[in-house]
Each structure stands twice: as structure tokens, then as C-alpha cells.
Amino acid sequence: MTDEAFSLAALVLCRMSDAPRIADTLLSLAAQTRRDFEIHVIVADGEPSGMQEVRELVGTFDTEFSTRVNVVDRTQIGSGTPFGSGVARARSSYVAALYPDDVVFAHWAETFAGHGRRSGGRALSSPVAAQVVEAAVTGDGRFVTSVERPKVSAPMPFDLIEHLASPPLQLRGLALPRLAVQRVIVQQIPPAAEGWTVRLAVGLSCGIVDTGEVTYLHRLRPSPADGASFDEVQWVSDRRTALEVLGRCGLTIGPDFLSSLDPSTPSRREPHAEVDLLRAQLRQAQDAGRAHAEAERRALDRVAGLLSSTSWRVSAPLRALGDAARRRGGKPRTP
């Protein structure tokens, strides 16, 4: 894929009440080192007053950035999900979802563009940093305070078995081929299973390339005390429906998928650990080589010493005859 063939659309997904929560998200998009990408803010439950609040927020940025932001009322473009509506509006070859309170680092678009040129049409994945935060609203605005340090999970290449057993998920840290996504989201997928289904479809049909660079920060609130989670019974039903949808849309398996299931395929989950291991093995080999050279030198010295000692003992009788001949003033007889 050439640089001209790669283009990216950022889809900021939110509700009307989330307008203050996407301020930092938009700020992080405005700070990108690469700026030739689309930006769509998809408001799930738009009403005139709420839409105006979002547009006013966008208007607080400089004109160069604000004119690139397209604020979309999802209810005005069909009955699809916010993500599906954003994909329908996008014109770029790749789409990436962003969520309220989350931010992307300044090299986010640059990283996806660089890897996109070499991806061969596959999806792109970057490790996501997660950080627990707390938010407070004062007269001066909304402020987000860190509670814990960011934690980065190891890169997770697409694994069919692991994915089928995974819970619902969102599409953080991914840049997805738009045409491959469109083929799936036009179907009636349960909203709770949308992210899970899209990643499964893309992983099977296109494959997913890990960039190895952390570009996305997921800022999440502290877990509730009661440990509330998703409804597992409902999730089983939604997952079954999603798989039936994929079965109807004629999904094809990409050329790289079956080889990725081979257990002998080198893992890409911890490339830095593998490099460190190779370096350690190289140091061990160098140490072994030096020890072998030293042992060889000592052996050669020993052989030379033995040869010298043996020659001296063998020549001793001849030396004795020579000494006797010199004392008698004659030469020894040759037998």
C-alpha cells in the first residue's frame, strides 16, 4: 500500500452528555504531528441544544483544526450505531474509534500512516495504556486527575480461540480497513457485540498487524465497589447472534490467518524480551568462544612443552657419546 493509498478517519463516539468529556480527546487530535486525517464527532442521541454544545466546544479550537471537525447527529443518518454511522460518513481507507475521556499521543496518526504503507491492507493495532482517573467539575471547567500510573498491556496478536472466549470489547488502539468494516456493520449486530464482531471479522478476513508502539491512553474511572460487570447471560445471546450475522455475510478467511494458528510461529507478543534473549545468547556464545580460545592456547603451550621435553630426553644418549668423544680427542664411530 502506498502513502497515497493510506488515509485515516478518527471517529469520536459520544453522547450529548459527554461533550465535556471529549474536550481532551479533541485536544489530543489537534496536537498530532500528522494532520491530514478526517475527524468526525458522532453524537449518539443528538438534540438541537446538545448538538449546539458540541459545536461550541469544537469552536473553541483554532480555525485550522475546527474546520476539519465534522459534528454528526447519528439520529439524522439512519438507525445504525454511532460507530456504524461514523464509518458510513468516513471516506478514508482506514477508520479508528475514540471514546470520551480517552486521548491519543501526538504520534498516533503518524504511527498508523507509517505502518499502513506496509500493511498490505491489514488492520493495525497499537498497545493501549490504561490509567485510572477521577474527574471533577468546578466553576473553571472539568478537570481530570490521575489516580494511578498508566499501565501498558503486552501486544496481543489476534488469536481466534482467545477472541471467541473474550468478553465484549471496544475498538481502542485499532485502525481498521473501512471497506472490511462496512461489510459487517451493515448487518444487524447487537450493539454490545459490535466491537467484538468487527475485530473478529477483520482478524479473519484481513489480519491484524501490531505496530508495537503505544499511541492510545484509555482513561477509566475507578471500578465500582460492587464489582458490577456485563450481563454474561445476555452476552452469550449477543455473541451467538453476532456469529450468525458473520455466517450470513459471506466472510472469507485471509491468507495470513491459518499460518497464525501454527504453534511453531514465533510469537510477536514480547519483541523486546525476545531481543534481550538473543543478546544474552550472543554474550554467552562470545564468552564460550573466549574460553575455548584460552583452553586451546593452553593446550598448544602444553604440547609444545611436552615436545621440547621429549626431544631433550631422546637426544640425551647422543649428547653423552659426543661428550665422551671430545674427552678422548676423537670422533665416535658410526655403527
Helix (H) or strand (E) holding 180: helix 178-185
- Same-domain pairing of 87 and 124: yes
3-state secondary structure 110-128: HHHHHHHCCCCCCEEECCE
Nearest to 131 by CA among 149, 113, 144: 149
Same domain, 172 and 197: yes
CA angle 52/16/187 to nearest 5° reads 115
Alpha-carbon distance of 56 to 101, in angstroms, equals 18
Q: Is residue 14 located within the same domain as residue 31?
A: yes
What pLDDT score does 65 carry?
96
User: Does pTM surpass 0.85?
Assistant: no
* Residue 277: per-residue pLDDT: 65
**Does 3 map to a domain?**
no
Pair 162, 309 in one domain: no
Q: Are residues 28 and 146 in the same domain?
A: yes
Place of cell 489530543: 28
User: Tens-of-pLDDT digits for all 335 residues of the chain?
Assistant: 444 579 999 999 988 888 889 999 999 999 999 999 999 999 987 676 678 889 999 999 999 999 999 998 877 666 578 899 999 999 999 999 999 999 999 999 999 999 998 888 999 999 999 999 988 777 667 778 888 889 997 777 788 888 888 899 999 999 999 999 998 887 788 889 999 999 999 998 889 999 999 999 999 988 765 445 678 889 999 999 988 888 887 776 665 555 555 444 444 445 556 566 666 766 776 676 677 677 777 877 776 776 666 555 656 666 666 666 667 665 545 55
Read off the DSSP letter of residue 177: E
Name the grid cell of 172: 481502542
How far is C-alpha 154 from the geometric centre of its chain's CA atoms?
A: 8
The domain in which residue 321 lies consists of 275-328
Residue 170 lies in a domain: yes
Which pLDDT belongs to residue 254? 63
81 and 139 both lie in a single domain:
yes
My answer on whether 298 and 172 are in the same domain is no
- Whether 118 is in a domain gets the answer yes
Q: Across the strands, what pairs with 43?
A: 14, 73
Pair (260, 322) in one structural domain: no
Distance CA 60, CA 63 (A): 9
Residues 85 and 110 in one domain: yes
